Amino acid sequence: MDTTADTWTASPSVAIVPLTGEHDLSRYESLKAALARASIRAPDVIVDLSHCNFIDCTVISLLLDAQSVVARDEGGFGVVLPAEPNAVTRIAELVHFSQRMLTYSSVAAALESVQAETAGTIPNARAIVPAVPLA
Protein backbone atom coordinates (compact mmCIF):
# COMPACT_ATOMS: atom_id res chain seq x y z
CA MET A 1 0.00 0.00 0.00
CA ASP A 2 1.18 3.51 -0.82
CA THR A 3 2.16 5.45 2.28
CA THR A 4 2.31 9.23 2.17
CA ALA A 5 2.50 12.22 4.46
CA ASP A 6 2.32 15.60 2.78
CA THR A 7 1.01 19.04 3.59
CA TRP A 8 -1.39 21.30 1.74
CA THR A 9 -2.97 24.59 2.63
CA ALA A 10 -6.78 24.64 2.68
CA SER A 11 -6.86 28.37 3.41
CA PRO A 12 -4.44 30.98 4.74
CA SER A 13 -5.34 29.87 8.27
CA VAL A 14 -5.57 26.06 7.84
CA ALA A 15 -2.94 23.51 6.82
CA ILE A 16 -3.95 19.89 6.27
CA VAL A 17 -1.65 16.89 6.63
CA PRO A 18 -3.32 13.91 4.93
CA LEU A 19 -1.87 10.53 5.85
CA THR A 20 -2.50 7.46 3.74
CA GLY A 21 -1.40 3.92 4.31
CA GLU A 22 0.56 2.79 7.35
CA HIS A 23 2.66 5.06 9.54
CA ASP A 24 5.14 3.90 12.16
CA LEU A 25 8.72 4.51 13.26
CA SER A 26 9.97 4.07 9.69
CA ARG A 27 7.95 7.16 8.66
CA TYR A 28 9.02 9.29 11.62
CA GLU A 29 11.18 11.81 9.75
CA SER A 30 8.76 12.39 6.86
CA LEU A 31 5.79 12.81 9.21
CA LYS A 32 7.74 15.08 11.55
CA ALA A 33 8.70 17.26 8.57
CA ALA A 34 5.11 17.34 7.25
CA LEU A 35 3.75 18.41 10.65
CA ALA A 36 6.47 21.07 10.98
CA ARG A 37 5.63 22.45 7.49
CA ALA A 38 1.96 22.55 8.40
CA SER A 39 2.55 24.48 11.63
CA ILE A 40 4.68 27.00 9.73
CA ARG A 41 2.19 27.44 6.87
CA ALA A 42 -0.91 28.14 8.94
CA PRO A 43 -1.95 28.68 12.55
CA ASP A 44 -4.50 25.83 12.47
CA VAL A 45 -3.52 22.27 11.56
CA ILE A 46 -5.75 19.34 10.65
CA VAL A 47 -4.28 15.84 10.35
CA ASP A 48 -6.42 13.69 8.08
CA LEU A 49 -6.20 10.03 9.11
CA SER A 50 -9.34 9.05 7.16
CA HIS A 51 -7.28 7.09 4.58
CA CYS A 52 -4.75 5.77 7.05
CA ASN A 53 -4.72 2.05 7.88
CA PHE A 54 -2.31 1.97 10.80
CA ILE A 55 -0.48 4.26 13.23
CA ASP A 56 1.79 3.33 16.09
CA CYS A 57 2.97 5.05 19.27
CA THR A 58 5.54 7.02 17.27
CA VAL A 59 2.76 8.71 15.32
CA ILE A 60 0.70 9.29 18.45
CA SER A 61 3.70 10.98 20.06
CA LEU A 62 4.28 13.16 16.99
CA LEU A 63 0.60 14.18 16.92
CA LEU A 64 0.67 15.15 20.59
CA ASP A 65 3.92 17.09 20.11
CA ALA A 66 2.53 18.87 17.05
CA GLN A 67 -0.62 19.74 18.98
CA SER A 68 1.52 21.28 21.73
CA VAL A 69 3.51 23.36 19.23
CA VAL A 70 0.36 24.60 17.50
CA ALA A 71 -1.35 25.39 20.83
CA ARG A 72 1.72 27.25 22.06
CA ASP A 73 1.41 29.47 18.99
CA GLU A 74 -2.32 29.91 19.80
CA GLY A 75 -3.48 27.81 16.87
CA GLY A 76 -5.96 24.97 16.65
CA PHE A 77 -5.19 21.29 16.07
CA GLY A 78 -7.52 18.46 15.11
CA VAL A 79 -7.54 14.97 13.71
CA VAL A 80 -9.93 13.45 11.17
CA LEU A 81 -10.53 9.78 11.96
CA PRO A 82 -11.54 7.09 9.44
CA ALA A 83 -15.30 6.75 8.96
CA GLU A 84 -15.17 2.96 9.18
CA PRO A 85 -13.65 1.15 12.17
CA ASN A 86 -10.07 0.01 11.56
CA ALA A 87 -6.75 -0.16 13.41
CA VAL A 88 -6.53 3.65 13.52
CA THR A 89 -9.96 4.09 15.12
CA ARG A 90 -9.19 1.33 17.63
CA ILE A 91 -5.90 2.96 18.60
CA ALA A 92 -7.62 6.36 18.80
CA GLU A 93 -10.17 4.87 21.17
CA LEU A 94 -7.54 3.09 23.30
CA VAL A 95 -5.44 6.22 23.81
CA HIS A 96 -8.49 8.48 24.19
CA PHE A 97 -7.77 10.80 21.25
CA SER A 98 -11.10 12.53 21.81
CA GLN A 99 -9.99 13.55 25.31
CA ARG A 100 -6.63 14.84 24.11
CA MET A 101 -7.49 16.65 20.88
CA LEU A 102 -10.39 17.61 18.66
CA THR A 103 -11.48 14.72 16.46
CA TYR A 104 -13.70 14.94 13.41
CA SER A 105 -15.57 12.60 11.10
CA SER A 106 -14.46 14.41 7.91
CA VAL A 107 -12.14 17.11 6.63
CA ALA A 108 -15.21 19.20 5.74
CA ALA A 109 -16.44 19.01 9.35
CA ALA A 110 -12.98 19.98 10.62
CA LEU A 111 -12.78 22.96 8.25
CA GLU A 112 -16.27 24.07 9.25
CA SER A 113 -15.28 23.85 12.90
CA VAL A 114 -12.14 25.92 12.38
CA GLN A 115 -14.17 28.60 10.61
CA ALA A 116 -16.80 28.54 13.37
CA GLU A 117 -14.12 28.76 16.05
CA THR A 118 -13.13 32.10 14.61
CA ALA A 119 -16.76 33.13 15.15
CA GLY A 120 -16.70 31.79 18.74
CA THR A 121 -18.38 28.35 18.43
CA ILE A 122 -17.02 24.88 17.66
CA PRO A 123 -19.56 22.60 15.93
CA ASN A 124 -18.90 19.06 14.61
CA ALA A 125 -16.15 18.18 17.06
CA ARG A 126 -16.57 14.75 18.58
CA ALA A 127 -15.19 15.83 21.93
CA ILE A 128 -13.61 18.77 23.61
CA VAL A 129 -12.33 17.68 26.99
CA PRO A 130 -9.28 19.21 28.61
CA ALA A 131 -6.50 16.69 29.27
CA VAL A 132 -6.11 18.21 32.74
CA PRO A 133 -9.27 19.06 34.69
CA LEU A 134 -9.73 22.75 35.15
CA ALA A 135 -10.24 23.79 38.75
Task: Give the residue extent of every domain in the chain.
Answer: 4-119
User: What digits encode the pLDDT tens for the residues 96-124?
Assistant: 999 999 999 999 999 998 878 765 545 54
**Separation CA 124–CA 135 (nearest Å):** 26
User: Which residues fall within 8 angstroms of residue 102, CB to CB, at 6 or more apart?
Assistant: 76, 77, 78, 79, 110, 113, 122, 125, 126, 127, 128
8 Å CB contact between 48 and 17? yes
| Paired residues of 11 in beta bridges | 14
pLDDT of 115: 77
Please report, in tens digits, the pLDDT of each residue of the chain (135 residues total): 445 567 777 778 999 999 999 999 888 999 999 999 999 999 999 999 999 999 999 999 999 999 999 999 999 999 999 999 999 999 999 999 999 999 999 999 999 988 787 655 455 444 444 444 444
Q: Domain 4-119: state its class.
A: alpha beta
